[in-house]
Structure 1
Amino acid sequence: MYDPFTYRAGVTPDETALIDADREERWSVADLDAAIERVAGRLSALGVRPGDRLGVCLPTRPAAVRVIHAAIRLGAVLVPLGPTLAPPELATRLDRADVTTIVCDASTEADAVAAVDAASDGDAAVPVTSVDDPTTDRAVALDAQMPEAVVPHDWPLDATVLVPFTSGTTGAPKGVRLTLRNLLASAVASVFRLGFDRRETWHVTLPLHHVGGFTPVFRMPLYGMTVVLRESFDADAVAADLERYDVTATSLVPTQLGRILDVTDGSLAPSLRTVLLGGAPATEALLDRCAERSVPVFPTYGMTEAASQIATATPEEARTNPGTVGRPLFWTDLTVRDGDGDERPPGETGELVVSGPTVSPGYLDADRTAEAFGDDGLRTGDVGYRDEGGLFWVVGRTDDLIVTGGENVAPAEVAAALRDHPDVADTAVVGLPDEEWGERVAALVVPREDARSASALESALDDHCRERLAGYKVPRTVGFADEIPRTDSGTVDRTAVRERLA
């Protein structure tokens, strides 16, 4: 595949490609294409070449869109990195993905530099370049580079284009290899389910290191649609955006949609035809509110490993079948299997296994790939069932992953951070039900004998975790006990832990 933006600029150069809702700035396809060309040339001047791993640690802003499409034009593999990750978390991802250059901005530069130092371990440090004026002497300004001429890269269908990270039950980050075939198949399958408006305008406020935020930006030139960016979620601002920019589609997590409904009356923007709702299960109460107010909500079940959507329910299916995530997308095979890998009949629960052209060929780590991928497809770790009519429900996890506000949190990762504190003898981390976030991270802690008071330790642990973990991973409920409840086999009795913390 040749560069999609080059193609789009030759077809619809004067159409609006991008709107920055925070600054009310607009770019035509031709203007954005020219800006992408300059960024690609500057990255090339910094030594970025086809096949290099380009780390992108940027919030949801137009500069990130330019960098994403510049990397595609150059042939560099994108490694999106969460802008709220702590330096140790960033360093782990830089090392695992073999990142060769990292792009940051003023808000992420200090953490990017700290992560590069931690990851280098005495070796030559990964170069850091900022889309803003650098705040340290360790980063160079991207705009200061003289652009080189760039020939758009011709990507083979099975080449890895994107390496986003997802967390598993061990808490160690897993780099997912997404190919051009995966991304294109997902773009086609999504349109088959959601439909398409020739004046499509997609609002994006999700982080761009998540596939839910990345995919509209990637698909922009493929669909010929407009993308409206808002850097951070604010319910009043997003609700106003939907009206102001005649938004036709948006991707949200349930917490965000609930907040938008809280600050508005009646239906949302008359132009809005699709609210793709994922990242966490939608409650029946939220779906009832959407039905009462004619909000066109499409509950979806997806994974990073499947380039976004796996199954998606239409508004009618969601209204008449509470809790369903709908039917598998075009080309996607979704089955329910038992522990031996045998397919379960309708109505019986088991692990969901997905296969098809949207599914990644595997992780960066061969061992993890072997654990999760088999002849039948990807074992998702999600427990669910289907009915006789082919609709699917997701009812839990085979592991203990916490999903809070659409973000995945591995209890083992949080527990490891807590155990690093000198006053902690033992701990167990679980998810507790939360009306706003779906789940919240909670920790039961066994203090050492000479530890400070409970209130002082709780405050110290909060500071300790915030230095090591993204904010959404920090426990919001902390309890103390003399010992951690365990089963006869020695594993944590999570039911008992939740009872202690509830």
Structure 2
Amino acid sequence: MGVLPDVLDRACTYYADQTAIVDDERSITYRRLGEWRNQIARALIDCGIQKGERVGLLMPNCLEFIPIQHGIWAAGAVLVQMPTRAAADGFRSNLASTDATTLIYHAKFESAVAAIREDLPKLQTVIRVGLPDRIEVDAMAFEAIVDAQDDTRPEVAIDEEDEAYVLFTSGSTGEPKGVVNSHLTWSYYSISAGLEIGDIAFGEVFAHGAPLTHFSQIFVMPTFLRGGVNVMLPGLVADALMENVQRHRVTATALVPTIIYLLLDHPHRADFDLSSLRTVVYAGAPIAPERLRQALDVFGPIFIQAYAGTEQGYVSCLRKNEHRVDDEVWAARLASAGRPMFHVQISIQDDDDRQLPVGRTGEICSHQLGQMLGYLDPTRDRETVRDGWVHTGDIGYLDENGFLFIVDRKKDMVVSGGFNVFPRQVEDVLSTHPAVAQTAVIGVPHTKWGEAVLALVVAKPGEITGSGLEKELIEHVKQALGSVPAPKTVLFADELPLNPAGKVDKKAIRKPYWQGRTRQIG
């Protein structure tokens, strides 16, 4: 598979004069990408950074992101990817837990870096990209240390087994954990998964609105290997996304379901020419089947679903030709996470790690070459990896045709009066109601039943919320699933809280109800 700098070199050689990255009015060719990567690597080495040292990267989606990322790898250092949507405390934790000796950050994070700088004695080198409105940190200027460097790749011996990448889990079911990958696992993960899931074509124009610190990044290298263009967007805002699709004739993108919902409900969607889009990968959270049917009606058969996790990598996908509504059997499979990819094994296991037969519900476990080496804290490895299997913490089953159905997160399950309630099933039913745009279901304390089901609902524009709609929604679920899973309370909100990965933050929704109690908040 090769080390990561070798993979990029190949693309820069093959497509030297083609455009590699676009960021608003700025762009670079593949040749310049390779040269810039080399200059950054040499600058880091001149700063005293040794092979194997960990380098924190705190950058939004921008032109500099990918060259810096690859410059770190070409210097033989280890990239510590810092989620940009976190706060200063999260940045401090990322750097401290990895013993990072260097931080490269964008000027927009000046105040956050200033707030944590004195708390990080092991952080010896700090490099700022761009100029902030007010300088608060004693940092080296990125442009000053890079521009004068030679643009040939430095001679650093890098092995496939060398540590390359530390990522952090989204923290949707607890505190974020550091996950370690090697050059081999990450290149295998990104190339094999990205090409298979993304259906990347030669000349692809892939728009990255979701943070490159999360799942969108997996499609960067496959796009390069097909001589395509990676378009940087400042964030996943529906208007900006549609404007850029029209402007750059974007052919592919990766979205979380929340953004698909916003696009579907956008009052001015028809004002944009989105006809160039041929692929939309959605991942990061389950999508309501009813809303998926709407998306297929509006945009056509351009969707690919991906199921993945930081620890296990990409596991399964529901391909474009499997998004069918013309047949009842296939329509039912829209609720699945597709089938395992060619390089992945899936096992459904019980609480004693025994494999369960087809159709039985248990924990989803996977095995592949692209899975993590382990956690930063190796004492936690056993929690997740046993006998080579990554235990995902998700509950589901495989049907007789190999389709994977995810019932829910193991920690999200609600136990009410001794009965197991899976919030995702309730959310899927609520989403079929014409008044519901988004919903999140949790368990809250109840003196009689232990837990009661509560639904937080974002209504579609123009819908009248209140006790009348609440009763209607409760009855809607009761008719479909019975009285136990039906919410006892429905609350209405303008929006659902999101965590740094863009997923609905159920931990934040639960917090007011469970604070001060001994039960672990999932």
Select 1:328's aligned residue among 331, 340, 344: 340
Q: Which amino acid aligns with 2:158?
A: W
Aligned partner of 2:409 in structure 1 is 397
SS class of match (1:343): coil
Q: 1:172 offset after TM fit, Å?
A: 3.2
Is the CA contact (8 Å cut-off) linking 2:166 and 2:181 kept in structure 1?
yes
Whole-angstrom distance in 1 between the partners of 2:199 and 2:504: 34
Amino acid at match of 2:202: R
Of 302, 309, 312, which residue of structure 2 is paired with 1:303? 309
Q: CA offset at residue 385 of structure 1?
A: 0.9
Give the letter aligned to residue 314 of structure 1: R
> What is the RMSD of the two structures over their aligned residues, measured on CA atoms?
3.6
SS of the residue aligned with 1:156?
coil
Change (3 A) 1:169 1:284: closer
Partner of 1:382: 394
Displacement of 1:493 in angstroms is 10
CA distance in 2, matches of 1:287, 1:472: 17
The one-character-per-residue Cα deviations of 1:26-55 (angstroms, maximum 9, x if unpaired) are 211112222222322322222223211110
* Cα drift, residue 15 of structure 1: 0.8
What is residue 115 of structure 2 aligned with on the other side?
A: 114
Q: Secondary structure at the match of 1:256?
A: helix
- Tell me the secondary structure at the aligned position of residue 13 of structure 1: coil
State how far apart, in whole Å, the 1-side matches of 2:391 and 2:521 are: 25
Instruction: Provide the secondary structure at the position in 2 that maps to 1:56.
Output: strand
**Partner of residue 129, structure 1:** 127
Q: Distance in 2 between matches of 1:26 and 1:208?
A: 17
| Percentage of pairs with the same residue | 26
Aligned to 2:174: 171
* Aligned residue runs from structure 1 range 30-41, under 5 A: 30-41=31-42
The CA distance in 1 between the partners of 2:282 and 2:510, in whole Å, is: 30
Distance in 2 separating the partners of 1:291 and 1:206: 21
1-structure distance, mates of 2:503, 2:360 = 37
Alignment partner of 2:323: what SS?
helix
Contact 2:99 2:122 in 1 (8 A): no
Distance 1:473 1:313, change over 3 A: closer
Q: Does 1:213 align with 2:216?
A: yes
| 8 A contact 1:129–1:141 mirrored in 2 | yes
Deviation readout 1:422-468 (Å, 9 max, x if unpaired):
xxxxxx9x99544489xxxxxxxxxxxxxxxxxxxxxxxxxxx9xxx
Aligned to 1:87: 88
1:224 is matched with which residue?
A: 227
Higher mean displacement: 166-175 or 156-165: 166-175
Instruction: Go from structure 1 to structure 2 and tell me whether the alpha carbon gap of 1:32 and 1:484 turns closer, same or farther (over 3 Å shift).
Output: closer
Residue in 2 that maps onto 1:361: 373
**2:66, 2:206 → 1: CA distance?**
14
Q: What is the match of residue 286 of structure 2?
A: 281
**Residue pair 2:165, 2:182 contacting (<8 A) in 1 also:** yes
CA contact (8 A) 1:109 1:139 kept: no
Distance 1:382 1:433, change over 3 A: farther
Decide whether the 8 Å contact of 1:160 with 1:180 is kept in 2.
yes
Secondary structure of the equivalent of 2:179? strand
Which residue identity lines up with residue 289 of structure 1 in the other structure?
Answer: Q
Taking the aligned partners of 2:285 and 2:92, their CA distance within structure 1 comes to: 27
Specify the SS of the correspondent of 2:33.
helix
SS in 1 for 2:108: coil
Distance 1:154 1:126, change over 3 A: same
Distance in 2 between the 1:64 and 1:127 partners?
A: 18
Change (3 A) 1:138 1:169: same
Which residue matches 1:199? Answer: 203
Once the two structures are overlaid, the 10-residue window that deviates more, 161-170 or 247-256, is 161-170
CA shift digits 1:383-422 (9 cap, x unpaired)? 0111110000111111249999xxxx9x9xxxxxxxxxxx
Gaps of 5+ in 1: 412-427, 438-464, 495-502
Deviations 1:280-317 (A, max 9, x none): 0011122111221204111111011133x211101332
Shift of 1:222: 3.2
Cα shift at 1:183: 2.3
* TM-score, scaled relative to structure 1: 0.77
Q: Which residue in 2 is equivalent to 1:142?
A: 142
AA in 2 matched with 1:335: S
Residue type matched to 2:85 in 1? T
The count of aligned residue pairs is 434
Match of 1:317 in 2: 322
Deviation (angstroms), 1:77: 0.9
Structure-1 separation of matches of 2:281 and 2:512 = 40
CA–CA distance in 2 between the matches of 1:343 and 1:71?
41
Counterpart of 1:281 in 2: which secondary structure?
A: coil
Residue 250 (str. 1) matches residue 248 (str. 2): no
Query: What is the distance in 1 between the residues matched to 2:308 and 2:286?
Result: 11
TM-score by length of 2: 0.75
**Alignment partner of 2:334: what SS?**
coil
Instruction: Say whether the 8 Å CA contact 1:3–1:154 is kept in structure 2.
Output: no
Change (3 A) 1:296 1:480: closer
User: Displacement, 1:359?
Assistant: 0.9
Within 2, Cα distance between the matches of 1:9 and 1:492? 49
CA distance in 1, matches of 2:346, 2:278: 26
Segment of structure 1 superposing worse, 154-163 or 62-71: 154-163
Residue of structure 1 in register with 2:356 after alignment:
344
| C-alpha displacement of 1:133 | 2.4
Could you tell me how far 1:472 is from its partner in structure 2?
8.0
The amino acid that maps onto 2:140 is: V
- More off after superposition, 185-194 vs 290-299: 185-194
Residues in 2 aligned to 1:391 and 1:50: alpha-carbon distance in whole angstroms = 43
Answer whether contact 2:54 2:102 (CA < 8 A) is retained: yes
CA distance in 1, matches of 2:373, 2:315: 15
Query: 1:268·1:295 contact (CA, 8 Å) conserved in 2?
Result: no
SS in structure 2 of the partner of residue 113 of structure 1: helix
State yes or no: 1:292 paired with 2:293: no
Between the aligned partners of 2:388 and 2:122, the Cα distance in structure 1 is 42
Shift of 1:209: 1.6
Is this contact kept in 2: 1:201–1:227, CA < 8 A? yes
2:159 is aligned with 1:156: yes
The residue type equivalent to 1:83 in the other structure is: T
Corresponding residue for 2:20? 17
Deviates more, 1:90-99 or 1:165-174: 165-174
- 1:491 Cα deviation after fit: 3.8
Post-superposition offset of 1:169: 7.5
